[in-house]
Amino acid sequence: MKILGALPTLNACLNALSGFLLIAGYFQIKKGNTRLHKRLMVSAFCVSILFLISYLIYHYEVGSVRFTGQGWIRTVYFTILISHTILAAAVPFLAVITLYRAFKGDFVRHRRIARWTFPIWVYVSVTGVIVYLLLYVLYPSA
């Protein structure tokens, strides 16, 4: 199935878009633009949901993909992958709690958890793109 082969690239694009939206949202709240901040953060959440659906479909159909790089790059790859995977497991929970508190109007608690959610979520988005580049572009399996 041709579309299945395109999912890793789609996933990387969704990760990059999510990271961009998160950073844009951060700058908007720093400027005091709460309306645009909210739109950008909800958009980042929606894009991340699309990513998760696409990611799960791909790996359900394909399984795991072996990293073919050799030497020092393996250490780099697996260090990034392990930290990415652990933190990625936390993002859905953190994001839901953060958004819930904002929608409830509990901005003190929203800001308190957002200080953790934002950098973790951005890290997961950026490292997701890096994992894609290493696994599918720089060191693709045969």
Q: For 66-121, give the DSSP string.
A: -----THHHHHHHHHHHHHHHHHHHHHHHHHHHHHHHHHT-HHHHHHHHHHHHHHH
Task: Retrieve residue 15's tokens.
Answer: 């990760």
CA nearest 139: which of 91, 74, 89, 80?
74
- Residue 82 pLDDT > 80: yes
pLDDT in tens, 41-67: 999 999 999 999 999 999 999 999 999
Residue 114: predicted pLDDT:
98
pTM of the model: 0.94
Euclidean distance between CA atoms 87 and 113, whole angstroms: 15
- Residue 1 pLDDT > 70: no
Determine the average pLDDT of the residues in 18-40.
Answer: 98
Contact between 129 and 15 (Cβ < 8 Å): yes
pLDDT in tens, 83-122: 999 999 999 999 999 999 999 999 999 999 999 999 999 9
- Class of 2-138 per CATH? mainly alpha
DSSP H helix total and E strand total for the chain: 4, 0
- Residue 95: is it exposed, middle or buried by C-beta count within 10 angstroms (0-12/13-18/19+)? buried
- Residue 79 pLDDT > 70: yes
Band of pLDDT at residue 11, cut at 50, 70 and 90? very high
